[in-house]
C-alpha cells in the first residue's frame, strides 16, 4: 500500500473535467553527523501533520527499529521504547515508507516515546510532502493527537543512515526550522486561511471548525493590537460548459456553473455550501471595511453553533446571527453577494479564484484546510498553540511581540497551550537539547535557564523557577513533568537571539 502524499500531479481529475494545478514541495535542511561515516546537510521535507518547531531546532540520536522497520504496528508489540535516558539526546526514530499511512507511523513512534520521526522513501524519486489520510480512511482519528515533528528523507540518505547504524556507528541529526521561519520584512504578520463552510464533511471539517473556535480569542486580540492581518479564503471550482445544465452542476454550483463546491461528501449540497462560502467572504469584506475584521471569527463560530443542522443551514438563520452578533446590516452582505442565479461573474469569488491560483512560494492552493503565514504554507498541526508558535517565528527578532516572549498570560496563555513544542518527550526527564529563537532571559545580568513546573503546580505551568548558569544560554521550556518534585534545567545549545554572555 502506498501512503497518501501531498504531491499533486500536473493534471488533476476533479468531479467534472480536468484542471491544471501545481504544488510546491518545500524542502528543509537536515544535518546528519556520525562518529565515522556521515557528515553533512541533506534535503528533507517536513510533513503536514504534527507540531513543528518554527524558528528553532531539535537534536537527537537516530534509532532504526528493524523488527518494526516500517513502523506500521505499535512498538509495544516488539517491546521497543524510544524514551530517552538522563543526559542522552532524545530519540529520532527512522522508519521506511510503505504498508500504512505516514501519520500512523508518526503516531506509533510518538506513543513509544520518540521525539521526532524520519520516514525514508523506498524508491529513488524526488522528495514529496507527507499529508494525512483522506476523511473516512481507517485510523484517521489520531491525526490531531500527533505532536512530534515528521520529516521525509530520500531513499539514498535512509540507506546511508541504516548502513552506518548497522556498522555500529552513532548517528545524530539536527532538524532545523530556522530557514522555515516565516520571516516578514515589516512588524506585522499576514496570514490566510483556506477553508469551506461545510460543517458536516467528516474529520477535516471538524478539525477546521475546532481550530476556528479555539483560535478566535487570540485572533481578535492580535488583530486589534495590529500585530497580525488575517484574510479568510474559500475554495471554488467550476463546471465545464458542456455540463452546466445537468442536475449535478445545478445542485453543486452557482452563477451557471462558474463557482462550485463539489465532492464534499455527506451533508449539505454543494450549492448551499457555495452560497454560504460567498456569504462568509462578503461578511469578512464588510467587517474589514468597517475596521472590525475579527467579527468574522465570531460569525463563523455562532453560525456553527446555531445553524449547523441541515434544516437551519439557511439565509434566515445566517441573518439572525449577523444581526444579533455583529450589528452589521445583512443588506450590505446581500449587496456584496449579488445574484447567485445570474449568468454573470461574481467579483468576490473571482478574486478568490485568482488568489487560489496565484504563483508564489506556496504554489496553487489545492488542499483544504490550508494556512499561509507570510505567504508561505504552514506545515503541521492545525491547533492554536502550534499556529501561535509559527506566527511568533514570523516576526523579525527586533519585532518579537510580548505574547511570544512573555511568561505571563495577561492576554492569553500561548505558553501553556497543550501543543507547545518545547514539551520534552511528552513530559519525561529526557535531557533533550533544544535551541529556540527569541526566548532567552537574563537574571541579575546573566543568562538564565527557565525551567519547568513541579508536581505542585497547575497543569498550565504556573510560575517559572529561575537559576543562574553563568554564561549558559537560557531557553524557556514549559515542561510537563508528571512526577518530579524538583525543577529540571533544560540544556540550551548555540546562541539564542544574541543574548549570550
pLDDT at 265: 56
H or E stretch covering 287? helix 270-289
Q: Helix, strand, coil % (nearest 5) of the chain?
A: 30, 20, 50
- Top pLDDT among 312 and 139 is at 312
What is d(CA 240, CA 217) in angstroms, rounded to the nearest whole number? 41
Checking if the pLDDT of 427 tops 60, the result is no
Q: Across residues 63-74, what is the average pLDDT?
A: 95
pLDDT at 89: 82
Looking at CATH, the fold of the domain delimited by 1-182+378-419 is given as Glucose Oxidase; domain 1 (3.50.30)
What is d(CA 272, CA 197) in angstroms, rounded to the nearest whole number? 9
Checking if the pLDDT of 135 tops 60, the result is no
- Rg for the chain, CA atoms, rounded: 24
Q: Across residues 70-98, what is the average pLDDT?
A: 86
Quickly state the pLDDT bin for 157 (edges 50, 70, 90): very high
171: β partners: 34
Checking if the pLDDT of 339 tops 70, the result is yes
Checking if the pLDDT of 382 tops 60, the result is yes
Contact 214, 383 (CB under 8 A): yes
Characterise 497 by phi-psi region: left (phi > 0), alpha (psi -120 to 50), beta (else): left
The domain ranges of the chain are 1-182+378-419, 197-375, 439-501
Quickly state the pLDDT bin for 9 (edges 50, 70, 90): very low
By mean pLDDT, which of 122-136, 314-328, 368-382, 472-486 is the weakest?
472-486
Checking if the pLDDT of 72 tops 60, the result is yes
Q: Other CB atoms closer than 10 Å to residue 112's CB: what's the count?
A: 21
Instruction: Give the three-class secondary structure for 492.
Output: strand
pTM for the predicted model, two decimal places: 0.56
DSSP 109-137: HHHTT-SEEEEE-SSS-----B-PPPTTS
DSSP 429-472: ----EEE-TT--EEETTEEEEEE---TTS-TT--SPEEEE-TTP
- Cα→Cα distances 323→128, 250, 288, Å: 47, 30, 17
- Top pLDDT among 58 and 493 is at 58
- Top pLDDT among 412 and 123 is at 123
What is d(CA 396, CA 183) in angstroms, rounded to the nearest whole number? 6
What is d(CA 212, CA 50) in angstroms, rounded to the nearest whole number? 18
Q: What are phi and psi of 120, to 5 degrees?
A: -90, 135
Peptide bond between residue 369 and the one before it cis (omega within 30 degrees of 0)? yes
What is d(CA 378, CA 465) in angstroms, rounded to the nearest whole number? 33
By mean pLDDT, which of 55-64, 139-148, 201-210 is the weakest?
139-148
pLDDT at 439: 32
pLDDT at 410: 40
pLDDT at 396: 64
- Top pLDDT among 413 and 151 is at 151
Alpha-carbon dihedral sign for residues 11, 13, 19, 25: negative
Q: What are phi and psi of 15, to 5 degrees?
A: -60, -40
- Over residues 31-67, the pLDDT tens digits come to 888 778 888 889 888 887 877 766 567 888 999 999 9
By mean pLDDT, which of 232-236, 252-256, 400-404 is the weakest?
400-404
443: β partners: 446
- Over residues 291-310, the pLDDT tens digits come to 999 999 999 999 999 998 87
pLDDT at 463: 28
What's the mean pLDDT when you consider all of the chain? 72
| Grid cell digits, residue 128 | 514529496
- Top pLDDT among 343 and 493 is at 343
DSSP 8-state secondary structure symbol assigned to residue 237? B
Q: Across residues 344-370, what is the average pLDDT?
A: 80
- Over residues 450-491, the pLDDT tens digits come to 332 222 222 222 222 333 222 222 233 332 323 222 222 333
Checking if the pLDDT of 444 tops 60, the result is no
Amino acid at each position: 500500500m502506498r501512503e497518501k502524499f501531498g504531491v499533486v500531479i500536473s493534471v488533476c481529475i476533479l468531479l467534472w473535467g480536468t484542471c491544471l494545478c501545481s504544488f510546491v514541495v518545500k524542502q528543509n535542511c537536515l544535518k546528519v553527523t556520525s562518529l565515522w561515516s556521515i557528515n553533512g546537510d541533506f534535503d528533507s521535507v517536513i510533513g503536514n501533520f504534527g507540531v513543528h518547531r518554527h524558528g528553532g531546532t531539535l537534536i537527537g540520536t537516530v534509532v532504526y527499529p528493524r523488527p518494526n522497520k516500517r513502523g506500521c504496528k505499535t512498538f509495544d508489540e516488539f517491546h521497543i521504547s524510544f524514551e530517552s535516558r538522563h543526559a542522552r539526546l532524545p530519540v529520532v526514530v527512522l522508519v521506511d515508507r510503505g504498508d500504512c499511512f505516514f501519520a500512523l507511523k508518526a503516531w506509533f513512534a510518538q506513543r513509544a516515546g520518540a521525539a521526532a520521526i524520519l520516514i525514508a522513501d523506498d524508491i529513488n524519486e524526488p522528495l514529496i510532502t507527507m499529508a494525512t489520510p483522506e476523511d473516512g480512511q481507517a485510523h484517521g482519528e489520531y491525526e490531531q493527537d500527533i505532536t512530534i515533528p515528521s520529516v521525509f528523507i530520500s531513499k539514498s540518505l535512509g540507506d546511508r543512515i541504516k548502513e552506518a547504524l548497522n556498522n555500529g556507528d552513532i548517528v545524530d541529526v539536527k532538524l532545523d526550522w530556522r530557514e522555515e521561519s516565516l520571516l516578514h520584512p515589516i512588524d506585522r504578520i499576514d496570514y490566510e486561511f483556506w477553508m469551506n463552510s461545510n460543517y458536516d464533511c467528516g474529520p477535516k471539517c471538524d478539525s477546521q471548525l475546532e481550530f476556528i473556535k479555539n483560535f478566535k480569542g487570540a485572533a481578535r486580540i492580535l488583530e486589534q493590537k495590529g500585530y497580525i492581518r488575517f484574510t479568510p479564503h474559500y475554495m471554488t471550482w467550476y463546471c465545464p460548459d458542456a455540463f452546466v445544465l445537468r442536475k449535478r452542476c445545478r445542485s453543486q454550483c452557482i452563477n451557471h456553473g462558474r463557482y462550485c463546491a463539489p465532492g464534499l461528501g455527506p451533508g449539505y449540497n454543494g450549492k448551499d455550501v457555495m452560497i454560504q462560502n460567498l456569504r462568509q467572504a462578503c461578511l469578512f469584506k464588510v467587517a474589514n471595511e468597517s475596521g472590525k475584521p475579527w467579527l468574522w471569527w465570531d460569525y463563523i463560530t455562532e453560525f456553527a453553533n446555531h445553524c449547523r443542522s441541515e434544516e437551519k443551514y439557511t439565509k434566515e438563520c445566517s441573518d439572525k446571527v449577523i444581526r444579533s452578533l455583529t450589528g452589521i446590516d445583512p443588506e450590505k452582505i446581500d449587496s456584496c453577494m449579488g445574484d447567485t442565479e445570474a449568468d454573470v461573474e461574481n467579483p468576490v469569488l473571482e478574486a478568490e479564484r485568482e488568489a487560489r491560483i496565484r504563483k508564489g512560494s506556496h504554489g496553487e492552493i489545492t488542499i483544504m484546510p490550508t494556512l499561509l503565514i507570510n505567504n508561505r504554507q504552514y506545515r503541521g498541526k492545525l491547533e492554536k498553540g502550534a499556529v501561535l508558535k509559527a506566527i511568533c517565528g514570523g516576526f523579525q527578532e527586533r519585532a518579537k511581540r510580548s505574547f511570544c516572549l512573555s511568561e505571563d498570560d495577561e492576554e492569553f496563555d500561548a505558553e501553556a497551550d497543550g501543543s507547545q513544542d518545547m514539551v520534552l518527550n511528552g513530559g519525561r526527564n529526557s535531557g533533550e537539547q533544544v535551541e529556540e529563537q527569541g526566548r532567552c532571559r537574563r537574571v541579575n545580568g546573566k543568562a538564565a535557564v527557565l525551567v519547568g513546573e513541579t508536581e505542585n503546580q497547575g497543569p498550565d505551568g504556573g510560575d517559572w523557577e529561575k537559576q543562574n548558569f553563568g554564561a549558559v544560554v537560557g531557553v524557556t521550556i514549559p515542561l510537563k513533568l508528571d512526577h518530579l518534585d524538583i525543577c529540571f534545567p533544560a540544556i540550551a545549545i548555540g546562541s539564542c537571539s544574541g543574548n549570550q554572555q
